[in-house]
Structure 1
Amino acid sequence: MARTSKKTPGKSPLTQLGANVAIPASPDKAELERVPNPHADTNYVARFTVPEFTSICPVTGQPDFAHLVIDYVPGKWLVESKSLKLYLQSFRNHGAFHEDCTVAIGKRLAKLLAPRWLRIGGYWYPRGGIPIDVFWQTGKLPAGVWIPDQGVASYRGRG
């Protein structure tokens, strides 16, 4: 659920930034917040790198670990980073497959922000000897925007 209340003079519409907030019990209960983009007339890339993402295998209950990279070209909105951090932490006890986690995060951000373009790369560490990488994107990349490599090497094992 997006939170963007009307701005009251002297009061921020954000409810989590600067407050002591517990980690949400699940991604569905997490509250993502957004703020106006002060450069909405400019195409640029914002990147969030999450090298210690965790969730739970829905079958075995064992922990799964990933390195996530989220890139987006904002439109009118930016995601507030503390709310994003709490949302991502809410996956710690959430049972879902790698593909579900990665795509669900991308879709939720796209719905909240309506970015010009967004991509997420989920680089999952091996379970049962097989690493899984999951990629999702939406929107059309504006012409002339520089998109750096996500910087996460493919898993090589002992190679």
Structure 2
Amino acid sequence: MTNSPELTKQEELKYGERAIAEGKLITFPNPRIGRQYTVNITLPEFTCKCPFSGYPDFATIYLSYSPDQTVVELKSLKLYINSYRDQYIPHEEVVNQILDDFVSACDPLEVTIKGDFTPRGNVHTVIEVHHQK
């Protein structure tokens, strides 16, 4: 790859950055429709940026859901979560946005998303949101 001015921004991205930028939540059919069960997912490397200071914020995101017709594909979830890395977004909004996007993609029977943010300046924040059909 050269530094040619003809290259677009998308072509300049490394393959991982491109996968994150193009990523969206993907689902597949629930293999056990009719049986209620819980899927627990932990995403320990979440990061975004504080919209006020620009400092990075780090969190562990806990996602717990009971699927209905579809189940989320884990690699797509990883890429989706990584897309927040350079976004300036408050803790409260990011957890609510993840919930909205997850419900829109998967339409689960119920889901709880918890963002456990690493303390900064002696303040520890945990945001938890829930949705039920």
Q: Give me the whole-angstrom Cα distance separating, in 2, the residues matched to 1:58 and 1:23.
A: 25
The answer (yes or no) to whether the contact 1:23–1:89 under 8 Å persists in 2 is: no
Q: Give me the whole-angstrom Cα distance separating, in 2, the residues matched to 1:32 and 1:121.
A: 18
Mapping of residues 17-36 of structure 1, within 5 Å: 22-25=18-21, 30-36=23-29
Q: Give me the whole-angstrom Cα distance separating, in 2, the residues matched to 1:65 and 1:88.
A: 12
Answering whether residue 47 of structure 2 is matched by residue 54 of structure 1, we say yes
Answering whether residue 125 of structure 2 is matched by residue 132 of structure 1, we say yes
Q: CA-atom RMSD, angstroms?
A: 1.5
Q: Give me the whole-angstrom Cα distance separating, in 1, the residues matched to 2:47 and 2:95.
A: 11
What is the match of residue 37 of structure 2?
44
What is the match of residue 144 of structure 1?
none
Q: One-letter code of the match for 2:105?
A: L
Secondary structure of 1:39's match?
coil
Answering whether residue 91 of structure 2 is matched by residue 98 of structure 1, we say yes
Q: 1:81 aligns with which of 63, 74, 77?
A: 74
1:41 CA displacement: 1.2
What 5-or-longer segments of structure 1 have no aligned partner?
1-19, 141-159
What is the match of residue 107 of structure 2?
114
**Number of aligned pairs?**
118
Give the TM-score normalised by the residue count of structure 2: 0.83
Secondary structure of 1:91's match?
coil
What is the match of residue 10 of structure 1?
none
Identity of aligned residues (%): 34
* Runs of at least 4 residues off by over 6 Å: none
What 5-or-longer segments of structure 2 have no aligned partner?
1-14
Give the TM-score normalised by the residue count of structure 1: 0.70
